[in-house]
């Protein structure tokens, strides 16, 4: 095993500056998958479980959603919420039992609500309730993507080390070109965040600056 005295951020920036892998690249049609941008994870002023990496994350997500809707491409939002008993969290909900615990994000609670800064079109966008890390797990996401004939997923939300990573791995496993705009994902600690951006970029996804995604959208997707 290679060892290093560098921080996770420094390692990521080294990889970013000196890419050692060919990019998967963009395809012809994309879906925007916004993973759990709900108050439990975005409102740092309200909840200890929340986190922020880039203060403009919600703005970028809104701008991406706007452009996707203009193209008639799918915009998907996921969130988690559980029964009063917590039994629908399964084994995942057994490690702790505090007011901040995962299984205690209850239906109808403030923690389960999407961030108020988000511009969600509830007539056109698709909203899935999920119970586990991946946006694919036991949701209708795969069927939706097949219906829309997309070949590329743009994944935003959080956390980088959890539900973003799980969704990205499942996305690649299903044959999608997988793009993670780095300013559009967040985590509790920079070490988790940058270590997983590094791993994603080396194995499962193209980790790009959000400007690269906007540039592709503006160019008419002729790649």
Q: Reply yes or no on whether the pLDDT at 141 is more than 50.
A: yes
- The CATH number of 24-78+115-218 is 3.40.50.850
Q: Which residues, listed in sequence order, are joined to residue 154 by a DSSP beta bridge? A: 32, 179
Q: How far is CA 128 from CA 27, 78, 84, 107, in A?
A: 24, 5, 19, 13
| Confidence bin at 220 (pLDDT 50/70/90) | confident
Range 158-180 average pLDDT: 98
Based on the residue annotation, tell me whether 184 is a catalytic residue of this protein: no
Residue with tokens 């965040």: 193
* CA dihedral of residues 102, 179, 57, 143 (deg, nearest 10): -50
pLDDT digits (tens, 9 = 90+) for 32-45: 999 999 999 999 99
Q: What is the pLDDT of residue 223?
A: 41
Which is catalytic among the residues 31, 33, 163, 197?
163
Ramachandran assignment for 12, one of left (phi > 0), alpha (psi -120 to 50 degrees), beta (any other): alpha
pLDDT digits (tens, 9 = 90+) for 77-92: 999 999 999 999 999 9
Range 136-148 average pLDDT: 98
Q: Work out whether the CA dihedral 9, 13, 14, 15 comes out positive or negative.
A: positive
pLDDT digits (tens, 9 = 90+) for 177-212: 999 999 999 999 999 999 999 999 999 999 999 999
Q: How far apart are CA 50 and CA 38, in angstroms?
A: 9
| Confidence bin at 221 (pLDDT 50/70/90) | low
Range 113-141 average pLDDT: 98
Q: How far apart are CA 54 and CA 187, in angstroms?
A: 10
Residue with tokens 């994350």: 57
Average pLDDT, the chain: 97
Of all residues in the chain, what percent carry a pLDDT higher than 70? 99
Q: Reply yes or no on whether the pLDDT at 156 is more than 70.
A: yes
């Amino acid at each position: 095993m290679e060892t290093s005295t560098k921080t996770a951020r420094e390692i990521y920036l080294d990889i970013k500056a000196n890419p050692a892998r060919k990019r998967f690249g963009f395809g012809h049609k994309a879906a925007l998958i916004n993973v759990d941008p709900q108050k439990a994870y975005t409102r740092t002023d309200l909840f200890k479980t929340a986190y922020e990496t880039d203060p403009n994350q919600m703005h970028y997500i809104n701008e991406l959603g706007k452009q996707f809707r203009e193209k008639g491409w799918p915009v998907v939002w996921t969130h988690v919420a559980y029964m009063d008993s917590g039994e629908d969290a399964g084994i995942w909900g057994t490690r702790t039992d505090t007011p901040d615990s995962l299984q205690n994000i209850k239906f109808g609670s403030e923690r389960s609500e999407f961030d108020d800064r988000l511009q969600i079109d509830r007539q056109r966008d698709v909203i899935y309730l999920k119970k586990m890390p991946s946006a694919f797990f036991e949701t209708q996401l795969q069927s939706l993507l097949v219906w829309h004939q997309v070949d590329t997923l743009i994944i935003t939300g959080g956390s980088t080390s959890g539900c973003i990573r799980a969704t990205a791995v499942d996305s690649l496993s299903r044959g999608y070109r997988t793009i993670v705009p780095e300013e559009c994902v967040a985590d509790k600690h920079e070490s988790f965040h940058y270590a997983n951006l590094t791993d994603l970029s080396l194995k499962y996804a193209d980790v790009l600056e959000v400007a690269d995604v906007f540039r592709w959208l503006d160019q008419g997707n002729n790649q």
